[in-house]
Structure 1
């Protein structure tokens, strides 16, 4: 039997390179977050500007479309009832 003890292998890591990698990753992440924040601010500002320049505010447009939908639904129901009433 071969009872030679093998010394455990050790991994040698250059901690300077690991530290440099961590620092560069952190700086890159912060730069990316800053870029996303700036882009989001620009998009939101453009959206607000578009809404401000509209002739009719979105809330009034939505209310008008809701009224139209209710009227169309009511007209459709009346048409259906009038057709059903004449066939019976």
Structure 2
């Protein structure tokens, strides 16, 4: 199957989404330490505001990827396998 521009974009967006968790996990490790990484105790030191923002941005990217990835992948397949050439 030949990669279309849509599939290249989908690959790049998927890769970016896959590595978005690294900065905020590293920041949480730096602020809270390894033993408290999954503990959301209010008594722990506060994280910088950008950490919460990065966490929400990653969750949003996953939600959007789940909605739009099937459409991009299917349209790339359909455009190459349809007889009328009217794929996505």
| Short-chain TM bin | 0.3 to 0.5
The TM-score normalised by the length of structure 2 is 0.33
Query: Which structure is higher in RCO with an 8 Å CA cutoff and minimum separation 6?
Result: 2
Compare CA radii of gyration and give the structure with the larger one: 1
The TM-score normalised by the length of structure 1 is 0.33
* Structure number having the greater helix percentage: 1
